[in-house]
Amino acid sequence: MRRGWLPGLLIVLGLLLAAAWVWQWAEFRAGADEHRTEHNRLGNTILAAAEGAAIRACRGGRYEPKELTITLAEVREQVGADWIALLDPQGATLAEAGTQQEDGVALFRKSFEPPRRRGGGPGRGRGGPFGASETVREFPAGQSDLRLQLSRMELDEKLDAGFHRFLLTGFSLSAALILFAVLLTLTVRSVNLRAHLEASREQVSALEYLGRLGAGLAHETRNPLGVVRGYAERLSRDGADQEQVHKASRIMLDEVDRTLARLDEFMLLSRPSTLSRTRIPVRALVEELMELLGPDLDAKGATFNIVGADSHVDADREQMRRLLLNLLLNATQAIDSGGSIEIELREHEIRIRDDGCGVPSEIRESLFEPYVSKRPGGTGLGLAIARQIAMAHHWRLRYEPNSPRGTTVIIETSERA
C-alpha cells in the first residue's frame, strides 16, 4: 500500500467523527424536544384541571375567596405544582395556592372567565347559589388570568442526563474510531513491513541463486576451456599431422558447443521470461514430444502412455514445450530397460509418472535447484529451468515419490495469486 493512504485515512476519519457527533447531537436534540413537549403537555393538563376546579368554585359568576383558595390548594397538592393563582383583569390576585418562585420553574397561563348567571346583574340576598353570605363576591367582569408554576427539576434532570449521554456516546464513538484508525495504521504498517522483509528475503534469495548459478557456470565453463586450451597447445606445436588437426578441431568444436549450451541455459535461468500466451492443447504437445523421444525409449525397450481427458492451458508454447521436454527427458533418463512412463492429464494438472530409480534422499530438498544432479553426466539445470518456466507462468512444480520406486512430477497449471 502506498504511503499516500494516510491523508485519505485522516480525511475519512474526520468525516466519520463529524458524522458521529452530528448523529449524537441530533439524537440529543430529538430527546430534549420530546422531554420539553412532555413537560409542556403536563403543565397544560394541570392548568386545565385547575381551570375546571376554579369554574366549579365560581358558580353563577360569584365566588367565595376562601373556598376558591382552598380549591386551588387542593389542585396544587394533588398535582405537585409550585404555585397556582387566579388574577383579575387588572392583575390583582383573587386567590392563590403555594409560593411564587423566581427560578427553576416553568410558567403556564391562560385566560379565565367563569359562566355568569342568566339575567346578569349582581346576585344579593337569599336564593343565590351560595345562599346569604357577606363574603361571597361577584367575579370581576372581563378576562382574568389563571397562572401555574411547575418545577423544571425533573425536566432539567432529563435534559442533563441526555446531554451527558450525548457526550459519553460521542466520545466513546470517537475513541472507537480513533482506535480503529490506529489499529488499521499499525496493521497496514505491519503488512508493509512484512512485504518489505519478504521482498528483501526474495532479493537475497535471488542474489544467492545467481551466485550459485555463477559458480556453477564457472565450473561448467572452466573444464571445456581447459580442454580447448590443451588441444590448442598441441596444435601450436610443430609436427601435427592432418588427422591430428581434424581430431583436435572436432573435440574443440564439441567443447565450444557444450559451453555455449551451458551459457544459453544460464541466460534462461538468470533473466525473466517474456511470455506470449496462447491456448495450447496439452495432449497434442505431449504426443509431439514423445515422438521426439521415441528413439531413446526404443533403445531402452520402454513404453509410455497418455491417460486422462485432453486439456488446454494458456501458456507460451515454446516455454511450455521446453518445460515438458525437460521433464520427459529426465523421466526417460531415469528409467531402466523395459521401464515405463505415464502422462496423466487432469484439469489444471499434468502428472508425469515413471518407474525409474527415484530421487535420492540427499537431494530431495534441493531437487529443483541448479547444478543438483546425481545422474552421471547430468548438469542439474533441466529441472531448475523447468521450475523457472513454471514460476514465470505462475504455476507450481513439485514431485512425489512413487511406491515401490519411481517418481511423479506434477505441474499445477492453475494460476496462483
Q: Collapse the DSSP code of 70 into the 3-class scheme (helix H, G, I; strand E, B; otherwise coil) and give the result.
A: helix
The whole-number pLDDT of residue 211 equals 63
The rounded distance, in Å, linking the Cα atoms of 262 and 249 is 20
Q: Which residues pair with 97 in a beta bridge?
A: 84
The whole-number pLDDT of residue 200 equals 76
Please say if the pLDDT value at position 40 is more than 90. Answer: yes
Q: Which of 231-235, 271-275, 284-288, 354-358 has the highest mean pLDDT?
A: 284-288
The whole-number pLDDT of residue 367 equals 64
What's the grid cell of residue 182?
490506529
Asked whether 185 and 6 are in contact (CB, 8 A), the reply is: yes
Mean pLDDT of 375-396: 75
Please say if the pLDDT value at position 133 is more than 60. Answer: no
Domains of the chain (ranges plus CATH)? Answer: 5-114+140-151 (3.30.450.250), 171-270 (1.10.287.130), 277-412 (3.30.565.10)
The whole-number pLDDT of residue 35 equals 93
Give long-range contacts, CB 8 A cutoff, 24+ apart: 1-7: 1/188, 1/191, 1/192, 5/188, 6/185
Please say if the pLDDT value at position 310 is more than 50. Answer: yes
The band of 292, judged by pLDDT with boundaries at 50, 70 and 90, is: confident
The band of 31, judged by pLDDT with boundaries at 50, 70 and 90, is: very high
Asked whether 72 and 106 are in contact (CB, 8 A), the reply is: no
* Tens-digit pLDDT profile for residues 313-361: 999 998 888 889 888 988 888 888 998 999 999 888 999 998 887 776 6
Estimate to the nearest angstrom the gap between the alpha carbon of 360 and the chain centroid. 46
Max distance between CA atoms of the chain, in angstroms, equals 174
* Tens-digit pLDDT profile for residues 95-111: 999 998 888 899 999 99
Q: Structure pTM? A: 0.47
Look up residue 361 and give its DSSP letter.
G
Q: Collapse the DSSP code of 149 into the 3-class scheme (helix H, G, I; strand E, B; otherwise coil) and give the result.
A: strand
Please say if the pLDDT value at position 248 is more than 80. Answer: no
The whole-number pLDDT of residue 185 equals 85
The whole-number pLDDT of residue 122 equals 47
Please say if the pLDDT value at position 118 is more than 70. Answer: no
What's the grid cell of residue 248?
583436435
What's the grid cell of residue 160?
442533563
Residues with Cβ within 8 Å of residue 86, at least 6 apart in sequence: 54, 68, 72, 93, 94, 95, 96, 112, 144, 145, 146, 147
The band of 413, judged by pLDDT with boundaries at 50, 70 and 90, is: confident
The rounded distance, in Å, linking the Cα atoms of 317 and 293 is 18
The band of 237, judged by pLDDT with boundaries at 50, 70 and 90, is: low
Please say if the pLDDT value at position 126 is more than 50. Answer: no
% of residues, the chain, pLDDT over 90: 27
One-character DSSP codes across 189-200: HHHHHHHHHHHH
